[in-house]
């Protein structure tokens, strides 16, 4: 602390007015202040230590601050304080010379305002400081923000803080569904003149369908005096609806003083910001620093910034890290610590600070693997995959767009898509995990299916053959065991299992549809029960609908262990993280030697690396396998069509490719395999059954002569690249499409006429020759039909 006379404006040692010296650049990180939207994971540990791309979430914030020149970081912890303190001790040498300190909550902490009042009481801040949340992931150049704040203070001595906002449009996938704010900013000075929080967002989706078109909220109103003042002074105002609040501010010491003096200010934006802007007595000003965040149309060199707010943004940010948007904070840079730096990881060695680094190497398609990963020869690893050390992938297993923590075990013929698996997860043979998050030590039995949006807390066990409903949340803790810890957890603030944000019991939980009515979590001591009893108890305690009790009783199956916590809201669920709402831009970091972009590895005849094709193929694969209704499949494909601005012909082509891939999978499953290829008899049988089942899907997209010709062209293209086996049965595919009214005779005849003109020896000429018997049959059928008409 600085000695000498205090200026009375801050907590702990104001500036010495007699002796000028350069102040140490300090930062305050708020970890786990109100982390309810990430239940049930936060029952077992702090949000700040959750893994993001197999590194502690807090470490991304620390890396950002230390790279920006911060010399001392104070992490305020109100939940899992002991774990955070142990983590900071383990990694302190990695961040040298930046000093890492932990401020433990000494009283119930209800808000960011309460947290900063405790920081004031700790008497550790010396001057202007950086305030940041513990869940921000950014490669923002911090010195630019600090320089903007200092310039604002030079112009205006009454500057209280400079807030950093990112230019990210509404509806963007990394923005929370409930985020919204209207800002009025003076164009010349960057001074914030008006702030209005809109928790429902200016643009939101309907509750019934998270993938429905965006609906516009009611109009907003601006204070008339604000416009009058601007008119009188000739100031140019900017009304901004596209700014995303990073929660990163450069603050003066007066921020802490004002929070102490105004104990009713809970939130920094809705309370402090609005009060300061509306008060003439305080006479303080607030400035805005806008960073151009990467988004649709943004420059590739612009910085990346996002926050983990709920399960949807958690999965999206995990994908962004693998796609290298956060460079240099990417896996193969090996800058960040592994999750073994956090105590209690399943199967991890004791935390000693000596082996906490990572050894990731990048492969084509932004796939990363650590040393010690075991892959079966027939395992399929897709694009944007992260494999932690000690993990094993079984034969014929498929993993794509997913994160696997260390020491995970994936059984034979298992499918893991768009999911995040934490350390020590075990997936049984033939199981399916799509769009889910599985915390440490989760066990999924053979043949089980985890629905999109499911979150399984630490240690939950799912029985063999069980199919979990989408968006369900399970925990190893019983609801009645969590409730009694409300008062104790709120008071201590540091206990494991408490989320620290001790909101009043009576207020309920607005962040989960069926969550417990209390807003605090209990201790680790709650013992999990068997599947039926545990799920039933939790259903009763959680206040779920009456018809949910019977489902809950058998939800986890024989041998299952865990308790039903509730269901996540559609807009905040990780099930909504895919498909993405816009095509991502390729990060322009090739000069930094960080490898290829997203385009690698995609694959098929319809354009390897095409994000639309990649997402559509995966969605269709899952829906065809699950025998979803055609109307539901069309809704999913149409969502991608509009998101990526694709044509109806593109939808037809990708649907055809998915259908034929499904045919091949069914033939293999039936045992028709010869030297790794499908047996012809089994393949033709599967082709007949597959086209019969899914022809209605193709008919939805093939309605005109032009659509028919493009579908045949797509079929020929598949023969050349993605599905070469189709070339051997081309005539049978054409006949099946004809038999089920996808392709009419006229379209086939037009194709045959064009193929007749193809060069001798070409692939098209060979396909024309192969189809000769079918074309002859068509001609004879037409002739017989004409004769019958003449007789009539």
Q: 122 near 103, Cβ under 8 Å?
A: yes
Residue 791 confidence (pLDDT): 54
Specify whether 554 is located in the same domain as 612.
no
With b for 16 or more beta-carbon neighbours within 10 A and e for fewer, the 680-700 pattern comes to eebbbbbbbebbebbbbbbeb
Specify whether 277 is located in the same domain as 395.
no
Q: Residue 194 falls within a domain, yes or no?
A: yes
Specify whether 310 is located in the same domain as 232.
yes
Q: Residue 157 falls within a domain, yes or no?
A: yes
Which residues are CB-contacts of 756 (< 8 A; sequence separation ≥ 6)?
768
Q: Which domain holds residue 456?
A: 367-503+522-575
Specify whether 546 is located in the same domain as 626.
no
Q: Taking CA 35 as the corner, what is the angle to CA 543 and CA 253, rounded to the nearest 5 degrees?
A: 145
DSSP designation for 592 = G
Specify whether 564 is located in the same domain as 611.
no
Residue 276: which H helix or E strand, with range? helix 274-278
Q: Residue 346 falls within a domain, yes or no?
A: no
Q: Residue 554 falls within a domain, yes or no?
A: yes
Q: Residue 597 falls within a domain, yes or no?
A: no
Whole-angstrom distance, CA of residue 143 vs CA of residue 721: 50
Total domains in the fold of the chain: 3
Residue 729: CATH number of its domain: 1.25.40.180
pLDDT digits (tens, 9 = 90+) for 231-256: 677 677 888 777 888 889 898 888 88
Residue 644 confidence (pLDDT): 75
Q: 556 near 564, Cβ under 8 Å?
A: no
pLDDT tier at 428, thresholds 50, 70, 90? very high
Specify whether 244 is located in the same domain as 393.
no
The top-scoring range by mean pLDDT among 184-198, 332-346, 582-596, 755-769 is: 755-769
Q: Residue 342 falls within a domain, yes or no?
A: no
The lowest-confidence range among 30-34, 409-413, 536-540, 717-721 is 536-540
DSSP designation for 252 = -
Residue 563: CATH number of its domain: 2.160.10.10
Specify whether 567 is located in the same domain as 637.
no
| pLDDT score of 616 more than 70 | yes
Would you give the end-to-end CA distance of the chain in angstroms?
106
State yes or no: cis peptide before 329, omega within 30 of 0.
Answer: no
Whole-angstrom distance, CA of residue 578 vs CA of residue 23: 46
Specify whether 649 is located in the same domain as 759.
yes
Specify whether 571 is located in the same domain as 611.
no
Specify whether 307 is located in the same domain as 447.
no
Specify whether 56 is located in the same domain as 155.
yes
Q: What is the pTM of this model?
A: 0.65
- Beta-carbon count within 10 A of 263 CB: 10
532, 560, 575 - which closes a domain: 575
pLDDT digits (tens, 9 = 90+) for 18-76: 434 467 889 999 887 666 788 888 888 888 888 999 888 898 999 989 888 899 999 88
Which single residue is written with the structure tokens 């939940």?
79
Q: In this predicted model, which residue has the larger pLDDT, 201 or 94?
A: 94
Which residues partner with 733 through β-bridges? none
250, 284, 316 - which closes a domain: 316
Q: Residue 6 falls within a domain, yes or no?
A: no
- Beta-carbon count within 10 A of 360 CB: 22
Residue 37: CATH number of its domain: 3.90.550.10
| pLDDT score of 464 more than 80 | yes
Which residues are CB-contacts of 352 (< 8 A; sequence separation ≥ 6)?
90
Q: Residue 257 falls within a domain, yes or no?
A: yes
pLDDT tier at 217, thresholds 50, 70, 90? very low
Specify whether 261 is located in the same domain as 145.
yes
Residue 133: which H helix or E strand, with range? strand 129-133
């Amino acid at each position: 602390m600085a000695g000498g006379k205090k200026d009375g404006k801050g907590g702990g040692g104001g500036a010495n007015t007699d002796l000028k010296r350069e102040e140490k650049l300090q930062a305050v990180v708020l970890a786990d202040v109100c982390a309810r939207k990430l239940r049930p994971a936060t029952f077992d540990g702090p949000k700040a230590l959750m893994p993001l791309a197999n590194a502690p979430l807090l470490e991304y914030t620390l890396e950002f601050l230390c790279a920006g020149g911060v010399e001392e970081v104070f992490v305020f912890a109100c939940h899992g304080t002991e774990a955070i303190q142990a983590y900071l001790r383990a990694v302190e040498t990695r961040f040298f010379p930046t000093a890492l300190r932990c401020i433990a909550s000494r009283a119930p902490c209800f808000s960011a305002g309460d947290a900063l009042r405790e920081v004031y009481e700790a008497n550790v801040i010396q001057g202007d400081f950086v305030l940041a949340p513990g869940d921000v992931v950014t490669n923002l150049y911090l010195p630019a923000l600090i320089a903007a704040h200092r310039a604002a203070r030079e112009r205006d001595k009454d500057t209280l803080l400079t807030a950093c906002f990112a230019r990210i449009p509404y509806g963007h996938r990394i923005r929370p569904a409930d985020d919204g704010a209207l800002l009025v900013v003076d164009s010349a000075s960057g001074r914030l003149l008006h702030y209005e929080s809109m928790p429902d967002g200016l643009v939101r989706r309907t509750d019934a369908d998270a993938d429905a078109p965006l609906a516009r909220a009611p109009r907003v109103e601006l204070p008339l005096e604000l416009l009058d003042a601007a008119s009188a002074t000739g100031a140019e105002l900017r009304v901004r609806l596209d700014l995303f609040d990073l929660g990163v501010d450069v603050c003066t010491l007066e921020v802490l003083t004002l929070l102490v003096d105004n104990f009713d200010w809970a939130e920094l934006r809705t309370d402090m910001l609005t009060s300061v802007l509306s008060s003439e007595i305080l006479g303080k000003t607030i400035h805005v620093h806008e960073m151009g965040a990467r988004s649709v149309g943004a420059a590739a060199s612009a910085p990346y910034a996002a926050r983990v707010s709920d399960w949807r943004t958690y999965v999206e940010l995990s994908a962004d890290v693998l796609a290298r948007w956060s460079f240099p904070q990417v896996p193969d840079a090996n800058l960040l610590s592994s999750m073994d730096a956090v105590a209690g990881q399943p199967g991890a060695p004791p935390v000693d600070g000596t082996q906490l680094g990572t050894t990731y190497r990048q492969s084509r398609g932004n796939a990363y693997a650590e040393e010690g990963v075991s892959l079966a020869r027939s395992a399929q690893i897709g694009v944007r995959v992260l494999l932690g050390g000690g993990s094993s992938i079984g034969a014929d297993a498929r993993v794509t767009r997913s994160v696997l923590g260390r020491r995970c075990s994936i059984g034979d013929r298992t499918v893991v898509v768009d999911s995040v698996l934490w350390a020590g997860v075990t997936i049984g043979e033939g199981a399916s995990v799509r769009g889910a998050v599985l915390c440490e030590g989760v066990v999924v039995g053979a043949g089980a299916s985890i629905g999109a949006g499911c979150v399984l807390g630490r240690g939950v066990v799912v029985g063999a053959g069980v199919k979990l409903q989408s968006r369900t949340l399970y925990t190893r803790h019983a609801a009645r065991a969590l409730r009694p810890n409300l008062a104790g957890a709120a008071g201590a603030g540091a206990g494991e299992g408490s989320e620290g944000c001790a909101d009043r019991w009576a207020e309920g939980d607005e962040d989960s549809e069926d969550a417990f009515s209390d807003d605090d979590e209990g201790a680790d001591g709650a013992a999990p029960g068997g599947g039926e009893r545990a799920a039933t108890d939790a259903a009763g305690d959680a206040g779920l609908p009456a018809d949910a009790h019977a489902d809950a009783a058998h939800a986890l199956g024989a041998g299952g262990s865990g308790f039903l916590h509730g269901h996540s809201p559609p807009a905040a669920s990780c099930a909504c993280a895919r498909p993405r709402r816009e095509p991502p831009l390729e990060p322009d970091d090739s000069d930094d030697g960080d490898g290829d972009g997203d385009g690698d590895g995609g694959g098929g005849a319809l354009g390897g690396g095409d994000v639309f094709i990649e997402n559509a193929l995966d969605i269709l694969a899952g829906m065809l396998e699950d025998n979803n209704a055609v109307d539901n499949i069309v809704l999913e494909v149409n969502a991608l069509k509009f998101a990526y601005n694709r044509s109806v012909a593109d939808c037809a082509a990708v649907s055809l490719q998915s259908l034929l891939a499904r045919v091949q999978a069914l033939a293999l499953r039936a045992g028709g395999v010869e030297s790794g290829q499908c047996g012809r008899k089994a393949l033709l049988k599967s082709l007949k059954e597959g086209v019969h089942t899914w022809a209605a899907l193709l008919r939805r997209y093939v309605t005109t002569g032009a659509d028919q010709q493009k579908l045949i062209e797509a079929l020929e293209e598949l023969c050349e690249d993605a599905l070469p086996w189709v070339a051997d049965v081309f005539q049978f595919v054409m006949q099946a499409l004809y038999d089920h009214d996808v392709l009419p005779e006229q379209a086939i005849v037009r194709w045959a006429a064009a193929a007749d003109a193809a060069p001798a020896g070409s692939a098209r000429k060979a396909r024309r020759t192969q189809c000769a018997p079918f074309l002859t049959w068509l001609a004879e059928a037409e002739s017989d039909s004409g004769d019958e008409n003449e007789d009539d």
